[in-house]
Structure 1
Amino acid sequence: MEIKELGVDKNIVTKEYIFDGTDIKTAERRTLNELNRKYTVEGFRKGKVPLSVFKMRFGKDFYDYFVFEQLLEEVYKSFKEETNLLLIPEIVEKEINSENGRVVVNFHKKPVAKVEVEKIKVRIANKEQVLDNYLDLRLNSLKEEHAVLEPKEGPAEFDDLVRVRVFVVNKETGKVLIDGKEDEYVLYKEDERPTVKNVVGHKKGDVVEFDREFAGKEGESVTYHYKLEILEVYKRNLPELTDEFVKNNLSELHLETLEELKNKIREEGTKIYDDEIKHSIREQILAQLPDVTELFISEKTIDYAVRLIVNNMKEENKYEDYVKKYETEEKALESLKDYYVTELKKESAIEKLAKEYNIERKVSDEELEKYAEILAPYWGISVERAKVLAKEKPEIREEIENMIFVDKVIDKAAEKVQREIVDVNKEGEESEENN
């Protein structure tokens, strides 16, 4: 077998495998042995059918299929020497006869990527504003938690606490959903629930009734009748936050002054802010990577990749359902193509940046355990169990190692991206002037 390189098209290297008469004869003998093991021919003993009979019986397929399969084994052996492959090699041509043969193969290599992370712009919430909002929220929560309740005879007002007995019945069927359950809640002004709005203005002993309509099955509406018996109304007296309040009510924190409490809360807020911003920056960079990445890739590679994806989806009986999501099959294929290119750009960019930053995939056990601690709540298992899985399950370990690897690369890239500080309002949302 002789191998010739026919040419290079961006990331595709095309090679020709040439077989002479000796190669063909060897492949014929192997084919004969294989066919004699699988087939019987009337008039011949099992395993004793001559080559000429099989040639006559299978005709053109004898060389195009059976001998070709034998030659492919030699071709496949050479694939092991190919490096940096993106996809499985693609056989694009074949010509086999009794005298010689040739097989042409496209090797789709991983494309070269050009990444300009400096063009990425991430938006970061104003730290001081976020911490001020967090401080206000925590201090207000402390006031709410330590509110002094004073029974009142007058009508309930916003910010009062009410204790009610609740009855809910399906108005059409009479089915009882809630039968006298006691509940209590604060009447916050911003709370739009009817159970709040309808109670305001009523006093202890009053009965409040109203209907609520909900969407039911198949677009039909369902109406429920609510009856609330007001058992008690309390005026909430919020305490003033002072040094004395901190010492008397928050002794478990071992703090002496309100200022110490504020500093502690800001420390907590800073940690939360740093973690959230780090996560946000990672997400923003990953989302923008395809836009700042240019691939030196042939369209033939992209088309071949989509064909492989489609074949896999068909084998799993998923392709028809996928196409139904789009107006035409053409649009479905275009969506697959866009998705593949986008993901390939991300993957190629990560690999390129990793080499540039000298970041290896190797992960320590300590890093694995730390990541397992983060994932444990999402998996719904204990931290110790998560650590064991991360170390001992190869597929899980590989997945986590890749997550850590990507995080390392993105965190390094974050040092070079543009950053825009965004003001936030009291609700923690971006201010309108930023939009």
Structure 2
Amino acid sequence: MTRSAILASWWRTKRAMRLFEYDLVQLRAKKWAALQPVIAATPALAAYAGRPLAEFPVVEPAQIRADYGRWNALGLSHEELTAMADAAEPGEPAGGLTAGWSTGTGGGARGLFVASPAERADYVGQSLARLLPAKALLQRQRIALHLRANSALYADVSGGRMAFRHFPLEAGIAETAAALDAFAPTILIAPPHRLLALAKAGAKLPQLRHLLFGSEPMSPKEQAFVGTHFGVSPRAIYQATEGFLGAECAHGLLHPNHHAIAFELVFNEAAGCHQCVVTDLHRHSQPIVRVLLDDVIEIARQRWRCLCGMHGLAIKPPQGRVQDIWHYPHLSPVAPGRVVKAVEGPLGGKHAWRAVGWPQGVVLTVDPAAPDKASATARDRLAELVPVAVELLREPVAQDGPKRRKVAWHDG
């Protein structure tokens, strides 16, 4: 992967970020036509090659994860790809084809991605264009990635003005805070639960200029708490195994990468919410075509130009998944975002909590350090949302997987 390829991707992305919606539609159509040879070489999609995108079936990630051999254009088997992903876990820089595992999953088999050197360069260029101002590239940057595993996708950034270091999630908060203090990052990327833990532990990062989060939702109250502590407002990266989907701008809106992603909204009648169907027009090794994601999507803007200069559909950073929506008889589905708003209105963004609903009730677990009155008010606000009893537990809040789920639903 060459720096000239990264720079070319950065330049294309910066130009695309100023395109009007009509121009974006034309650009996506051109890229879709160019993708057809790749579609023809992908066993799961070959029968549809040459057709309009709308005629392709909508698939779920589980269908792809069941057999990665059918969902790549390189002729590699499922076993070959999973072996490559396992071997890449240390995150050493790669010169050729790269495979890796996602940082976590909403359930079932882990997500696997495949990327060529050209695709990695495109990913890095897009990320730099969407996440950092142009002037940041002219300054020396120390990038701290605090995620489950290292990855060649990120390690490729290292060199020149940019120093990169991975900080594993397995390390304790005190150890991580000390390591970050020694590294003095100017850019930190981490999941929200670790940013909150670092802020509560009093970690100081005086050199920090850009704070980015991904992998799981972060509420506006939590963003405010973390931003106040570090002096830098955290912004969301919308990324999944299926691709780099978008990023939050300085005005709090999440703009999909409309120049590279065909982003379709579909309404889930049973769940009472929108979901997105994504097609990555830049992925050639592992085509991503009309994949239905399980994030609950809330529309922020339809067509207007944002103050940041970007056009087209904008959404709010997702606050949960479809499977975490609460369902009660004679009541509209209760989306995770409504639960978050009800609880954190009185509780704020500092204190850990988790709300689990099921047909007969709700259990709200709140960290003992939270004020008693605020915790009781949070329970009362939840009780106003649902027609069942809400039980309040005051105990440490356990995390039940690699990704934090503050709101969950159990059918039984």
Both proteins in one fold, TM over 0.5:
no
| Alignment TM class, shorter chain as reference | under 0.3
**Structure having greater relative contact order (Cα 8 Å, sep ≥ 6):** 1
Which protein has the larger Cα radius of gyration, Structure 1 or Structure 2? 1
Please state which structure has a larger fraction of its residues in helix.
1
**TM-score normalised by the chain length of structure 2:** 0.17
**TM-score normalised by the chain length of structure 1:** 0.16
